Amino acid sequence: GAVVSQHPSWVICKSGTSVKIECRSLDFQATTMFWYRQFPKQSLMLMATSNEGSKATYEQGVEKDKFLINHASLTLSTLTVTSAHPEDSSFYICSANSGSSYNEQFFGPGTRLTVL
Amino acid sequence: QKEVEQDPGPLSVPEGAIVSLNCTYSNSAFQYFMWYRQYSRKGPELLMYTYSSGNKEDGRFTAQVDKSSKYISLFIRDSQPSDSATYLCAAYNFNKFYFGSGTKLNVKP
């Protein structure tokens, strides 16, 4: 089956620094990638949808200047949390859709961000 | 009102029990429904999906959609300790997925 990887799996950073998270589709081309945020014991909250070569579409309430998304190729999307603060600590999960089937959304293993 | 509502549980059952997980949704335009399983600190994995109303069976798992009542269910037969995880229901519409909050299931040996 399709595999999506994320790197890093866990990152700890100081408040005020920026953190980049990579999401890669390893064996398929992802026309669309999604970025989610998940707090403990809560569901996935969609942050933004990114399509290769175009600007990401952010969900209401998500600051696009704080969460920079770049979908530079059909296999790579990056999420940069700029000037991270402790309240940004969360589990960030990406998913990728090849576009061949609506329901084939493959999730990455997630990145745990801890901001001190 | 959230698009997809799900009882967070936790749900604790003995090994071998039949498990019933349920969600409701509000948007009658939803046509595609999915169930994901998520282990702790891992990304969700797709278990099953259904289109419109009806049942779909895959091994010990059965997914059911009742569009008239906007109700989606996942049944697990002969539950195993390895089934212990959080189960997320989801609906899909216009390239966007709407997730329930997840139900945490614990199957006791």
Contact B8 A34 (CB under 8 A): no
Instruction: Round to whole Å and give the CA distance between B21 and B102.
Output: 10
Instruction: State the pLDDT confidence band at B97, using cuts at 50, 70 and 90.
Output: confident
Q: What residue in B sits closest to A104 (Cα-Cα)? A: B46
Contact B43 A4 (CB under 8 A): yes
Instruction: Round to whole Å and give the CA distance between B65 and B28.
Output: 12
Q: What residue in B sits closest to A99 (Cα-Cα)? A: B95
Q: Is B6 on the interface with A (CB under 8 A)?
A: yes
Per-residue pLDDT of chain A (116 residues; tens, 9 = 90+): 678 999 999 999 999 999 999 999 998 888 889 999 998 877 889 999 988 888 899 999 999 999 999 988 889 999 999 999 999 999 999 999 876 665 678 899 999 999 99
Contact A44 B49 (CB under 8 A): no
Q: Which of A43, A49, A58, A101 would you mutate first to test chain B, the one with the most B CBs within 10 A? A: A43
Q: Is A17 on the interface with B (CB under 8 A)?
A: no
Contact list, B100 vs chain A (CB under 8 Å): 43
Instruction: Round to whole Å and give the CA distance between B43 and A86.
Output: 22
Residue A104 Ramachandran class (φ > 0 left, ψ -120 to 50 alpha, else beta): beta
For CA atoms B14, B18, B23, B24, give the dihedral sign: negative
pLDDT at A103: 60
Lowest mean pLDDT among A51-55, B35-39, B76-80: A51-55
Instruction: Round to whole Å and give the CA distance between A113 and B69.
Output: 39
* Mean pLDDT of the region B18-47: 92
Contact A10, A112 (CB under 8 A): yes
Instruction: State the pLDDT confidence band at B7, using cuts at 50, 70 and 90.
Output: confident
Contact A105, A2 (CB under 8 A): no
Contact B43 A41 (CB under 8 A): no
